[in-house]
Amino acid sequence: MRLHFLGAARTVTGSQYLLETDRARVVIDCGMFQGSPHDVLRNRVPFAYDPKTIDALLLTHAHLDHCGLIPHVSALGFSGPIYATRGTVELTRLVLLDSAKLQEEFAAKHQRFAKKYPDRALVEDRSAAAELAAATDEDAEVATREAAPEALTYLREPLYTTPDATAALDRFTGIEYGTEHQIAPGVTATYLDAGHILGSAIIRVRARDNSGDRTIVFSGDIGRPNTPIIRDPTPVRDGDYLLVESTYGGRTHEPEEQAIRLLGEAVTATNGTSGVLLMPSFAIGRTQEIVYELDRLLAAGTMPHVPLYLDSPMAGSATDIYRRYPEYFDDDAKALLAKTEAPLDYPGAVMVKDANASAALDTDGARPYMVVASNGMITGGRIVQHVKSLIGDAAMTLLFVGYQGEGTLGAQLQQGAKQVRIDGQDLPVACQVRSIDGFSAHADEPELLAWLRNFSVAPKLTFIVHGDPAAQAAFEPKVKALGFATKVPEWRETVELT
Ligand SMILES: [Zn+2]
């Protein structure tokens, strides 16, 4: 029995593991690599296995870095069932259809560029092909020399299309938390709430073959205890092997109460002026949490009522899905529902319908007002237009409520950039820029260690995955100090489960 580490090994994206027994082959997560162009290119490295030979796929949650390659693996011949909680199935539909659309748009843009500037496109394609060959372990130079120009056009193709995504979505089976399901010959899976986003799961896999029985626990992404709306991560007490995420290894988040207080203060400061409060936020998870906290702050009388515009079609759809799963809510959110309060509604909140209405808001909107718009790192989506319109306005506060990836416009602004470039235009920064870091969807290091302490006996071996090298280096000694044997697997490493 063996485990192949095919993604989120020394990176935070591209989650993918293959469990192989002498009877079955099961893939756990099939996520997209995101981030630098080098990381993204890994999405085009051929799968480490023949997709036709896979019996089943298990998905921990709906984030793109966990589900984003599912249409790709399905288009290449995977024809088995895909298991996820019912909430995850619905959210994944949003995420994969959106991803397919973006790929199609990006590919069309690239084709237009190649038509206009064939020489430049060829140079770009060649260097991308060389990088891809290097990542695929071929001789990069030979590969570049041998590659005929027409052979490179696949780099301009979308990784998958909308029909591919639709076909893959038909393979999904929604299951309940806490029930053991037979998913492949000799393999069962139990989904436990991971408290990360709606429907997220820790997956406990029991596998049996001629070499015996093993229990392998895949942590998925572990949420913060006390995240609004959803439940806390489920304690797990045993397992022969464990894969634990390490996104925030070596780091401690600010306490949640402080984050909520800062949010209330930012809204209060916006009121009574000609102010605008602009909050970039990811559509799934963070937007619902922010709306929940704003509603709570208002109900508690700690902040004034400032009109709220929700400007993300995807966030609106995700909120509808959240509303359909009250059985996944934590006790606080359930108690609000019992009092017939809607925990995901802010009084008078306006859903911004289309891009025209979104643009009109910045010119004609009655102030003060606040906007929550996607995406969270200002790398795309309607937030970009708002930032472009309002960045030179000293009465605007740009409030970051989530993680800003290295090199993103969000990170540049957070680090105090005095001027930014948007759509080829240099814009001076006159607005206020503030950040709250306590709204993470991931447990920080003390919270991860607390979750690990639930094990009554340490697993035989704990794999530290889903983290950048520095975070993993900080985290590993602390896991060892709990008496756990640890390993930080490399990308494409295979480990025998004895
Ligand atoms: Zn996630």
Neighbours of ion ligand 1 (CB under 5 A): 63, 221
The model carries a pTM of: 0.91
pLDDT number for residue 18: 98
Alpha carbon of 375 to ligand 1 centroid (Å): 15
Alpha carbon of 153 to ligand 1 centroid (Å): 32
Cα(27)–Cα(82) distance, rounded to whole angstroms? 9
pLDDT number for residue 142: 58
Alpha carbon of 287 to ligand 1 centroid (Å): 14
| pLDDT tens track, the chain, 498 positions | 999 999 999 988 899 999 999 999 999 999 999 877 777 888 989 999 999 999 999 999 999 999 999 999 999 999 999 999 999 999 999 999 999 998 898 888 888 888 888 888 888 887 787 778 777 765 555 555 555 555 566 677 899 999 999 999 999 999 999 999 999 999 999 999 999 999 999 999 999 999 999 999 999 999 999 999 999 999 999 999 999 999 999 999 999 999 999 999 999 999 877 899 999 999 999 999 999 999 999 999 999 999 999 999 999 999 999 999 999 999 999 999 888 788 899 999 999 989 999 999 999 999 999 999 998 989 888 999 999 999 999 999 999 999 887 778 999 999 999 999 998 899 999 999 999 989 999 999 999 999 999 999 999 999 999 999 999 999 999 999 999 999 999 999 999 999
pLDDT number for residue 132: 80
Chain CA centroid to CA 127, Å: 29
Alpha carbon of 404 to ligand 1 centroid (Å): 15
Alpha carbon of 142 to ligand 1 centroid (Å): 38
pLDDT number for residue 78: 98
Token pair of 397 as six digits: 């506060």
CB 157 within 8 A of CB 51: no
Alpha carbon of 85 to ligand 1 centroid (Å): 14
**CA 264 to each of CA 106, 271, 343, 399: distance values in angstroms, whole numbers, following the listed order:** 39, 11, 17, 12
For residue 468, the tally of other CB atoms under 10 A from its CB is: 16
pLDDT number for residue 138: 58
CB 29 within 8 A of CB 15: yes
pLDDT number for residue 340: 78
Looking from the CA of 365 toward its CB, the CA atoms found within 13 Å total 27
pLDDT number for residue 127: 79
Alpha carbon of 62 to ligand 1 centroid (Å): 7
Cα(332)–Cα(338) distance, rounded to whole angstroms? 10
CB 268 within 8 A of CB 303: yes
Amino acid at 284: I
Alpha carbon of 256 to ligand 1 centroid (Å): 19
Q: For the stretch 200-234, what's the b/e string if a residue is b when 16 or more beta carbons lie within 10 angstroms of its beta carbon?
A: bbbbbbbbbbeeeebbbbbbbbbbbeebbbbbbbb
Cα(208)–Cα(188) distance, rounded to whole angstroms? 9
Alpha carbon of 125 to ligand 1 centroid (Å): 31
Cα(9)–Cα(466) distance, rounded to whole angstroms? 6
Alpha carbon of 63 to ligand 1 centroid (Å): 5
CB 381 within 8 A of CB 281: no
pLDDT number for residue 145: 56
Alpha carbon of 221 to ligand 1 centroid (Å): 5
Angle subtended by helix axes 118-135 and 86-116, to nearest 10: 140
Q: How, if at all, do strands 308-311 and 350-351 pair? A: parallel
**3-class secondary structure, 43:** helix
Q: Where are the beta strands (DSSP E) in 21-154?
A: 25-30, 56-58, 82-85
Cα(354)–Cα(439) distance, rounded to whole angstroms? 28
Query: In the beta sheet, which residues pair with residue 53?
Result: none
Alpha carbon of 200 to ligand 1 centroid (Å): 8
Chain CA centroid to CA 41, Å: 18
Cis bond upstream, residue 226 (ω within 30): no
Cα(421)–Cα(494) distance, rounded to whole angstroms? 44
Query: In the beta sheet, which residues pair with residue 427?
Result: 420
For residue 147, the tally of other CB atoms under 10 A from its CB is: 16
**3-class secondary structure, 303:** coil
Alpha carbon of 289 to ligand 1 centroid (Å): 15
Alpha carbon of 498 to ligand 1 centroid (Å): 30
